[in-house]
A and B are shown apart, each in its own frame.
Chain A
């Protein structure tokens, strides 16, 4: 194979390969998004367990880190504290 041919092969492999990788992963992004949407509408999982966890916190959950409401309150308090210290 001559030198010019070899460079040409390298260049076309780069364009072809990079193009294909992008096309494939773009399709994967769309396919994944579609799949997630379908799964969330057909079998919503988030709705059911959330209230149960909230109920557990009222009765005094053993592990505060597992309680999303308490976690949110703590996070909020920390960020307020930080904001106050900065000013």
Chain B
């Protein structure tokens, strides 16, 4: 009979808490959105599934050894842990708080204690520390994105880089929004957390994950989920803003055919970009360095095998681990909080402001220049490649059925990728200097 009771007490049903149940439901919701509604399925399927795995009761897949020990250990073991941390505590939450804030040496001692007592890191925790904790996965994805990016439209019309710069305004306006909410007492974000939330406005998944893994790992789950969900919603978020800010006549502007770009120019571009990054902003070097490397492999034409791997097999492999690792951050006690709602609402504001800033910048450039540009391509400055460019094309066709803006919009679109990586570098630099 004792065995039966032990089995029952070890079952998921016995250990199920309401929070975990809600998170599992959210995991199923993400799977539904990905599979039925086709919302960024490549990422939301692994993220949703990872979220379910991470919340399986009593399995503790997303916990480190010390967290496992604090959650399921006996009172005696908890006291041992508290002694190592040098604190007097009553429940496991206080132990964990003490553990998170302890210096690295003390944390190491706690980890050794957990290892001695036969506690091991959960599977999802290991995935997270290898893929995202080390920042390897977002950087490899960025290399793959570089290998997939054609800078031809940008090189044919370099002015479109300004549109990519303007659209980053969404990032910084959202940072201001986050600290504003904090000073009003509605939320509680530090500057580092505000910066990580703002980067959602860059509409660039790997950049957002990279920045939040560096600045605010505790918010990574919410930030990644909101970044990828809103990227899937770009075709719904952007058109109303674009139409509100432009006149019918402006939307119908036809742009001149793009010039031919030679192969040598395409090879030189990633090198020029790399030199500029090295000279001006070493903090953006991990992101833009990998991006330039990927693009050079694509354009140089002598390493087609490597380029092919970077943009197909490798990026797919990494995406699996990245998605599962993000899912590991969807564990109930880290995700279910008022902050997550704040992040979701700030994220959509960031997208909207970025779109508006890009369109307004295009209109401003038209005031000063003879060669008119269609303001609709400004909205493509929020990366979200190639979705945002397709939206520009579609809205343009509604006003003028002979107006194909897709190639013109790819310029600001890839400029947005560079812009958000630069913005990420600036924020990391600024926050770590505080």
**A interface residues (Cβ-Cβ under 8 A, vs B):** 1, 3-4, 6-7, 9-11, 13-14, 16-18, 20-22, 24-29, 31-33, 35-36, 39-40, 43, 45-46
- Point out the residues of chain A lying under 8 angstroms from B313, CB to CB: none
Q: B261 — nearest CB in chain A belongs to which residue?
A: A36
Further contacts, 13 of them, CB under 8 A, given A10-B180, A13-B176, A28-B273: A1-B191, A7-B180, A10-B176, A13-B172, A13-B191, A14-B175, A17-B175, A18-B172, A20-B426, A26-B161, A28-B161, A29-B162, A31-B276
A14 vs B176: C-alpha distance when bound (angstroms): 7
A27 vs B191: C-alpha distance when bound (angstroms): 28
B268 and A21 form a contact (CB under 8 A): no
Does chain A have a CB within 8 A of B427?
A: yes
Known: A16-B426, A27-B280, A36-B265. A6 touches B418 (CB 8 A): no
A6 and B191 form a contact (CB under 8 A): yes
Q: A32 — nearest CB in chain B belongs to which residue?
A: B158
**Chain A nearest CB, measured from B417 CB (Å):** 12
Looking at A3, A22, A24, the one whose CB has the most chain B CB atoms below 10 A away is A24
B161 and A25 form a contact (CB under 8 A): yes
- Point out the residues of chain B lying under 8 angstroms from A18, CB to CB: 168-169, 172
Q: A11 — nearest CB in chain B belongs to which residue?
A: B176
Interface residues on B, range: 35 or more
Q: Is the interface of A mostly helix, strand, loop or mixed?
A: helix
- Point out the residues of chain A lying under 8 angstroms from B191, CB to CB: 1, 6, 9-10, 13
B262 and A13 form a contact (CB under 8 A): no
Known: A25-B161, A25-B415, A29-B162. A17 touches B171 (CB 8 A): yes
Known: A6-B183, A9-B179. A17 touches B427 (CB 8 A): yes
A45 and B161 form a contact (CB under 8 A): no
A26 vs B162: C-alpha distance when bound (angstroms): 7
Pick the residue among A6, A21, A39, A43 that contacts B419 (CB under 8 A): A21
A7 and B183 form a contact (CB under 8 A): yes
B182 and A6 form a contact (CB under 8 A): yes
Pick the residue among A9, A16, A25, A43 that contacts B422 (CB under 8 A): A25
Chain A to chain B: the 10 pairs with minimum beta-carbon distance, closest first: A10-B179, A3-B183, A45-B262, A14-B172, A25-B165, A10-B176, A17-B426, A32-B158, A25-B161, A29-B158
Q: A30 — nearest CB in chain B belongs to which residue?
A: B158
**Chain A nearest CB, measured from B199 CB (Å):** 11
A40 and B269 form a contact (CB under 8 A): no
Does chain A have a CB within 8 A of B370?
A: no
The proximity string for B residues 94-134 relative to A, scoring 1 for CB distances below 8 Å and 0 otherwise, is 00000000000000000000000000000000000000000
- Point out the residues of chain A lying under 8 angstroms from B422, CB to CB: 20-21, 24-25
A3 vs B188: C-alpha distance when bound (angstroms): 11
A21 and B423 form a contact (CB under 8 A): yes
The proximity string for B residues 390-434 relative to A, scoring 1 for CB distances below 8 Å and 0 otherwise, is 000000000000000000000000010011001100110011001
A45 vs B262: C-alpha distance when bound (angstroms): 6
Does chain A have a CB within 8 A of B173?
A: yes
Which B residues between 142 and 192 are near A, CB-CB below 8 angstroms? 154-155, 158-159, 161-162, 164-165, 168-169, 171-173, 175-176, 178-180, 182-183, 190-191
Does chain A have a CB within 8 A of B35?
A: no
Does chain A have a CB within 8 A of B263?
A: yes
- Point out the residues of chain A lying under 8 angstroms from B264, CB to CB: 39, 43, 45
Which B residues between 27 and 79 are near A, CB-CB below 8 angstroms? none
- Point out the residues of chain B lying under 8 angstroms from A6, CB to CB: 179, 182-183, 191
Known: A22-B165, A28-B273. A35 touches B265 (CB 8 A): yes
Can you give 23 contacting A-B residue pairs, CB < 8 Å? Answer: A6-B179, A6-B183, A6-B191, A10-B194, A11-B176, A13-B175, A13-B191, A13-B195, A16-B426, A18-B172, A21-B165, A21-B426, A24-B422, A25-B165, A25-B422, A27-B276, A28-B161, A28-B273, A29-B161, A29-B162, A36-B155, A39-B265, A40-B265
